[in-house]
Structure 1
């Protein structure tokens, strides 16, 4: 059966985008019209009812998102794909709130766009036209997450897709990457935002007290229990409970937590009457839970209960283009909190971008606060950064050593191909890629336990590109795991 085709309206004030996207979609058999403004969009839609509307956000005569909800209300089966160079969580969330089918940050992958169109057409043709689309109201401009790197775009898109439901979320990432900020964003943008957000850190509570903290306790349940005290589940009633460092939860508490998740009821320590609770669970960890399961330190059934939607936060060293943006953001926060207002020089931004940030975003924030207080200058220069961060001794040591080894190996291979008596081939570039790229793909996948989304983010390529390369090289992600 051939690919489904339909009518597409592309709205973008960049003629090149209209031409390229239009031609790509026409080659797939779609009927395509283009517009450069909201006014042109309105005029065209009066006699051209598209199956899919592709629109930019920033248009010459206004916000491309404005009016989208009304258009969907008029034709509930029409799917909208949003394109935007404003690659922030706010844009992703607004697109979702307006009822968009997909949000793609610019620069976008043309293959991903054409695939999204194909999916939208299929859904359009299967739809009976009476799907309910839920609007969450006004968007929140005070987003807690900052960054425009491809890895963060993936995080934003996932957040935008889960704020309208109550699925359990498992946030993964190294310490200091902002896992609690993700939980706060999901809660603050979701339908439970008017109710409490309660956080508990498993690693910060004595093991013998975790059950009492989570589930509450009755008077006399243990020494010092003078009154009945509600646990975190009851405190978060109607809202969100954030279980940080879930990998440090004792096995006994895991068993009780699983029971609560299955029954929706909490029994206090020392109590016998269950209490109904209604909370959304967001858990987080910097540990490899599958490894803990293999060591009998984490329940597999609890893992699957929590890991309904995983969100993997990249380490700061994997999103170098975000470092300067974050640094200036933290300087603004420091100034708003009463610290001296400072600006960041370009040479300082370059040095910060080259550092490997073992403490991730938290380390960067602490550094910016320190320099805001201690620096006597209004502008933080590269020299000031060097004085506060041992860039020469730390930043390049490991990278330069490994880079030198790789360069030496490549030079040796090239000498063998171009040496005396050798007939130079005209496929050196492809030959080198065929040697290096499979290793790069395999080791990157292994480092993230076979997770293709994380691997694509680390490599800075589209997921479809990664899948194609894996197929071309005969690599099976299912067989690539850490340590294999």
Structure 2
């Protein structure tokens, strides 16, 4: 492949590797280490693509792109950055970058992107436009980089997005970022939680209803689709939507038109759909509880959020972020010591980022000293009990046997003490899966809500630990 590449990179070893890989593809590579040298080269020579680092000795590689484009208005730009935040990815997108690669990157993917950029330049196509603003998510881990790149890729279009991940991983934040950074940011963002609406009312919530459509419909009501017209509709917990509503939702997505409950007129709506779920929809499709055709209609662009246990290197920056947010909400200024951070990193975080946020707020509120160390963490939030590790029934029976071996209940209390020991993590798991919502947790467990509330109180479980603050 023919083409000339300008590589702006002040790390000689990285530059050598990139140049060798591109030259193996038949591309010519000119390397420089500063913005000033970049501008001089663009002024006097023609290149088919620009690869640039962000932090350079004489400035910011992204912020100075307008100056570079004075000399090469239509050159495709690929950003390389060790500043691995959503803010950096969005700044790259704002400045019409062809692609963004956080360091360390996959060399084969980089070469593929350069080939595409050179092909685009030779075909005469210009880069896409974008007028997005900035609302960064928090975290720089490798596990989050794919998320950031997927977010930036959907900002300039209206493709439907399906966000998946465990409770507390930040699915709603992703939806907010896509809306607020995208082309529909001037329109409304309307959220509806399918799990929080009674099944017999969900169609009315989504599509609205006419006066007299059912008992209690004393006036006309505008549904979420109409409220979101011109903007984004966020369908949270889509896996909890009843079958009848799934059918009507599919029809609305296919046609772009809705009909209010009890109404005769179809209404055209212009909305972008972002859906989210903490459920595995595959088994639900196999069981017939979730429509396969609806799944494929929603799963145009999948974004899978990693659990916090897979991005523990983000805990320090998340903790600092939440400590500052706590101050802004009127809580005392705190700092975490090195061993305090380590204590947090060693926890399991079954409630993910939401649980971490709640714990940080509790530390800010209750710590006796401004510096929160490991001892304070243990005193305030307790030592996390390791979940039972079991592979099937044999593993569970082994766990019970082990518990009996190390505990000595009082006579007459063996049954009740053993039941409580294994009931508590079961209830906590249900609360973690439902974001602290006791009604949904009771449904998940298959018990009465009042029974759950009593057991929560008896077992000293704190549902607010699993619920989002604010």
Distance (Å, rounded) in 2 between the aligned partners of 1:205 and 1:34: 59
- In the alignment, structure 1 residue 152 sits paired with structure 2 residue 144: yes
2: distance between equivalents of 1:389 and 1:353? 13
Judge which range, 209-218 or 343-352, deviates more.
343-352
Distance 1:301 1:75 in 2: 46
Q: Which residue of 1 aligns with 2:48?
A: 51
Alignment of 1:64-463 (within 5 A): 64-69=61-66, 71=68, 75=72, 78-125=75-122, 127=123, 129-131=124-126, 133-136=128-131, 139-140=133-134, 142-143=135-136, 145-391=137-383, 393-394=385-386, 398=389
Give 2:437's aligned residue.
none
- Asked whether the 8 Å contact 1:203–1:245 carries over to 2, the reply is yes
Cα distance in 2 for partners of 1:390, 1:30 equals 58
Q: Residues 74 and 127 of structure 2 are in contact (CA less than 8 Å); yes or no, is this contact kept in structure 1?
A: no
- 1:27 Cα offset (Å): 3.3
CA distance in 2, matches of 1:173, 1:130: 36
CA contact (8 A) 1:81 1:100 kept: yes
Q: Is the 8 A contact 2:82 2:102 kept in 1?
A: yes
- The question of whether the paired residues in 1 share the 8 Å contact of 2:258 and 2:268 is answered with yes
**Counterpart Cα distance in 1 of 2:261 and 2:121:** 52
How many aligned residue pairs are there? 390
Can you list the C-alpha shifts for 1:357-404, whole angstroms capped at 9, x where unaligned?
111111101101111111111011111112234446328x759xxxxx
What are the superposed Cα offsets for residues 71-109 of structure 1, whole Å, 9 maximum, x if unpaired? Answer: 558656532110111111111111122121211111223
Q: Which whole-Å CA distance do the structure 1 matches of 2:128 and 2:247 have between them?
A: 37
CA distance in 2, matches of 1:10, 1:315: 36
How far the C-alpha of 1:276 sits from its partner, in A, is 1.3
How far 1:325 sits from its partner (Å)?
Answer: 1.1
Q: Structure 1: which 5+ residue stretches go unaligned?
A: 400-484
Aligned partners of 1:10 and 1:53 also within 8 Å: yes
Checking the alignment, whether the CA contact within 8 Å between 1:351 and 1:391 is kept in structure 2 is no
Q: Under a length normalisation based on structure 1, what TM-score does the superposition of the two structures give?
A: 0.77
Spell out, residue by residue over 1:222-268, the C-alpha distance to the aligned partner (whole angstroms, 9 max, x if none): 12211101001111111111000000101100111111111111111
Task: State the Cα deviation string for residues 258-290 of structure 1 (Å, max 9, x = none).
Answer: 111111111111111111111110000011112
Structure-1 separation of matches of 2:127 and 2:88? 22
2:16 to 16, 19, 25: 19
Kept in 1: contact 2:74–2:126 (CA 8 A): yes
Contact map agreement 1:327 1:364 (CA 8 A) in 2: yes
Whether 1:40 and 2:32 are equivalent positions in the alignment is no
- The question of whether the paired residues in 1 share the 8 Å contact of 2:206 and 2:224 is answered with yes
For residues 158-207 of structure 1, the C-alpha deviation after alignment (integer angstroms, 9 at most, x for no partner) is 00010111010000000110100000000010111111111111111100
Distance 1:131 1:86 in 2: 27
Give the Cα separation in 2 of the matches to 1:114 and 1:389.
Answer: 48
Asked if the contact 2:42/2:72 (under 8 Å) is kept, the reply is no
Question: In the TM superposition, what is the alpha-carbon distance from 1:23 to its structure 2 partner?
Answer: 2.9
Structure 1 residues 33 and 196 mapped into 2: Cα distance closer, same or farther (>3 Å)? same
CA distance in 1, matches of 2:9, 2:179: 33
